[in-house]
Structure 1
Amino acid sequence: MQFFLRKNSYSLLFYFFTFIINAQEENKKNNYKDLVKQEKIEIENLFPLLNNKDDLKAYSNAHKLVKKIKTKESITRLNLFFANYFNKKTILDSTFFYANKALKSTDFIANDSLRRILASSSYNLIGLYNNKKGLIEASKKSHLKGIEIVQNQKKGYPYYVNLHGLANIYLKQGDYTNALKYFKQCLEYKDVDDEISIGSNINIGIIYGEFKNYESSIVYLKKANLICKNNENINCQAITAINIGENYKDLGNHKEALKYYDEGLKLAKQNKLYQTEAFANEYIGSILYEQKRYANAKLYYINALTISLQHNFLSNQRDLFLKLKEIAIVEGDYTNAYELLNRYSKIKDSINILEKDKEINELDIKFKTLQKENEIRDLMLENNNKILILNNQEKTIENLNLQKAIESKKNENKLLKLNESSQKKANQIKLLKKEQQLKDSEILRQKETRKIIFIGFLIILIPIIALLIVYYQKQKAQILINNKQKEISEQKNKALLKDQELKLIKAQIEGQDKERLRIAQELHDSVGGNLAAIKLQLSNSNFGKESEIKNINHQINETYNQVRNLSHNMLPKKFNQSKFCDVLEEYLNKLAEVSQLTPSFVAYPRKKINNLNENIQVEVYTIVQELITNTIKHAKANKIELQLNLIENSLNIIFEDNGIGFNIKNNKEGIGFINIKNRINNLKGSLHIDSTMNRGSIFNIEIPII
């Protein structure tokens, strides 16, 4: 009996520990959910700043959040914010980069519904990027994909924002019927945000203008303009002004049309709305062309083309090359006309090549089929409702007739109930006696089954306990084996890291030795020879002779120039032969070949960073080398990410690794770390470090360019 109690206590302990582990796992899940909610609120707080003209503050706060966020959902949301920011700034390549990055990160989100919503929002931003670039079919494909993945969910913001983008594509393609249909569907969305409402009203106004229904067109455009003014949305006010101008142009009132075009152009210039500014210049040029004021029209077309080339608006470039060609023909400049026609053809061909995709047509047909199926389903529901109403009316009539029949039978039933109640009481007494007998027999049967179960439980429990003891011993032995293997693998990793360090140090020393040898040869052959000649002349010559003084002075100048050229040659040759970003990228790629590190490098805007002062480039290159050396020595990382962002007059460097991290407060600064700080201080920059144990490190460096 004591043996049984001891073994039973082991099993109770086993179940108790299992319960504790499950409780800890549940607690982790709850903590993760709370963290996701908190990070979601912080990211959502960025959008009001972005929409209220405080976009620089929003961008700065977003970069601070990059260092803090930990969950996959929040990383995706933050990438979507950056894509929205660059879309608003009309920086198209950055818009696509962050939208595509957000789309890829949705693959790692466990919640299927949330994954679909965030992926649909990513497709919308990719569609807007393609639309602004002039790739209409590619934009159509992105919006159709965005609609498809949330088609079977409750239709919310991601569905309607992609539907709005798709309607815009149909409008550009001249399919006004489908465009009008989907824009009106967007207005039916009860929780629709102002941007979709504004865009839908503007585009419905444009479509009615195409139908020559100018009265309805102006009603919708003024409605959109009122919402714009209430929200202080300058871009919207500029677009509505331009479209009202289009209506006056179609009516033949060029004076009023130019008035509204000028208003739109002024708003676009003041607020750096580049594509709107390009359209306003193009429309003003078209009126001047109709008035045969070709020189003035040409100026506006060139302004629009310059903006379109700067921001890669392909469809705008295509239209403007064609219009400038027509002016060249009128002016008799056929050489220029031929050149413009060639450029028009190249742009047109490049757009056609980018937009060849069978999947777009399949998605379009699938979307339209689903739309028709939904309409048929709605009609069937209406018919079913009507049939149900008719059936209900018939049933109410039948119920009234039945109620009258029931009331007539109630009196008869009362007499029958009295007889039945007396019989029921007699039967209940008999049943109670039988139930008592059955209960007694059931109690005896349960006692016997309990004895059998107890004995069976003892027979089963003893081998189970023995198996648990054996399993525990095996697990203990396996843990010891694993610990030994872990120690061996750690020693191997340390040996590999030391080997990589030695290779890098050896390469650096060899480079330094070669450079020292070259400098020594230069000093010995050129500067040393000149100084020896000057010394001989000074010791053997008479300073009274003017020719001797001139000769010595000439040799001193020559020596000075050689020293100056030598100091310039001491700068890294890489920067003289290649662009700065290319040198950095090449260094990272070579590093990947000789180590286990996987590097990632992003620079924006790349061209401006390549044109920075050479001293800054050298210092930045050295800082990056020091950071990578520290990562190899201490971080035990296998991935590093380097970002260079030139924002206004400040160069932002973000260096991140996925290593073991370190405690910032207790960290002892080595020589390499001190060198990094000194170089940053020399450039009057600032350094912010975010690192915790087992979560990697982020170095955020700001360097003023002025």
Structure 2
Amino acid sequence: MKNYLLLLTVLLISCNRDKTNKPNTFIEKDSPSYYFLKSQDMKLEATDRLKAVNKAIEMTGGLDSHGFSGQLAYHKNWLHFSSGQNDSLIFYHHKVFEGPSKNIDYYYLGQEYYLMGYYFSEVVRNSEEAFRNYTLSKGYFQKIRDSSWVGRNLLNMGTIQKDKSDFFGSKETLTDALKYLNSRNDKTYMVQCYNLLATNHRKLLNFDDALTFYNKAIKLTDSPTDKFIYQNNLAATYIDNHQLKMAINLLDSISSIPIPVSNQKEYARVLDNLAYSKWLSGNKIKENEFQKPLQIRIQNNDKRGQIASYTHLGEFHSETNPGKATSYFDSVIILSKTLKIPRAEKDALKFLMELEPTNVQLRDRYVFLQDSLYKQELKVKTQFAKYKYDDKLKQESILRLEKDNAEKELEANQERTQKILYLGGFIFTTTILGLSLFGFRQRTKRLKQQGMAKTLEAIQETEAELSRKLHDDHGGKLNQLMSLIQIDADKEIILDKTEELYNHTRDFSRTLNSVDTGPDFWNILKATLEFAKPAEVEMMFNGGKELNWSTVSDQSKTILFKVLQELIINMARHSKAQQTVIIFKEHNKILNVYYEDDGVGASKESLFRKNGLQNTEKRIQAIGGSIIFDSEEGKGFRAEIHIPK
């Protein structure tokens, strides 16, 4: 009854699927929508509701048309089922849903096969057909990625496998179901999965796993009734695992919970398990503690529960009253045959064989049942495995087809994209080349103008520097010598000044002279720099001798010569250095020269006020190079020179 109410609730929700979240708009009377809504009115008799849905189907063209609604067809079959019109249910199911395809929505196909699965499971008791229909329903819901309904179908499939003693298969199916269910929307179904998984593990004697899953179900459920049932299951597992004290404590605690009249079967089960666990633990109990739950079960026509009570009573009397025990076990066998539960009969026969070890008929019946159960379970497991395997192949086939179609569409899109890209790329490349060529020409022209301007500026700066030196230095010394001659100074002093003027003139001439950039450039450069430095300054070179100077352009050699000469002259005049280091390196066709001395240094502001250094920088920039000055007062002077070879 509980399963039927759950199905009724689920199917009502699904029937109202398209009505949710829609505004209340005026529905024209005597229209398909009007009659469809009328068919869902629970206040009407079932026959009137069926008339309404049939009228709606007729107005849409009938079940044989290609324009009818799958929702209407499914709702019609649901009404047949809820009214107990099983022949009509089967007839219209085959006519509409298993006949030629009418392009029915996958959602309603899934709902229809879920309904048929429930019908075969709970009404006809045909587990194979139920499993097949649940499998088909699952496949349709997988197509629309409705994970909740996929999980529910797997839950029902796992339940059928458990009921048919396929505990391993059930465990696998229920584990898959949990992957599709979530605790926010599917808590009830997750709880059922945990309870069934625990039962499977219990039957497989995996008691630790069984206890874990029962506790998960107890923790997650919001239903006091379900919690009561799961706690009873947990206690039964404690009994199976010989944890009798824990079983007694748990059963004692829940036996005092007020139980509604509708749940007397579970209350009887608690009392029976409590009496059984106490007896197993060695406590002295009276037969009445077993008789009380038995009477509750008889009053509620709970024949399965009676089997458990008679079995426990038989065990209770086995040693003290074998005749009475035999009578109880005979009752178990009668009920087992009535309910078609051969496993319960086999268990009773096992106890009877202990009471009557010489009874050959009991032994033969036990062996027969054991063989029959083994063959039946093997057949069931094979059949369920086949359904699952066929479904897997079907899903894989669908996925391959979807993949092939997707790949073909992707290839077509890629071809179109490539054509567009080729055309766009050709236009883009042509445009870029045209713009680049124009830009290159403009840039070349601009750079030529800038280069000429920089070169001219560098020449003018050099000329201005030479003019200043000629006027200030050379002119000043010449004027001083003329003054000495006019005052008829000492001849020795005049000769010394004359020699000093000569040497200065010679140095100035060397500055003006062109640089020898031939094979002996390095030696000339080194000698010139060493000659220009003060005698007390130690000058060290690194890398210059090893450098292949023939690969350096004459223009770069000339500029480098002048720049280094200017740096040494500047050092000699201002730095008061004791040591100077010049390092030469080559990298990626760039000549890198590093100059450093340990003189007094200068602030960055004073560096840029020196015309000689400014002129040096302009010379380097004129040939596309760069020079970086770095100095602080009291920390020496450094320069990095980078010029193209």
TM-score by length of 1: 0.38
Q: Which has the larger radius of gyration?
A: 2
Give TM-score, length-normalised by structure 2.
Answer: 0.41
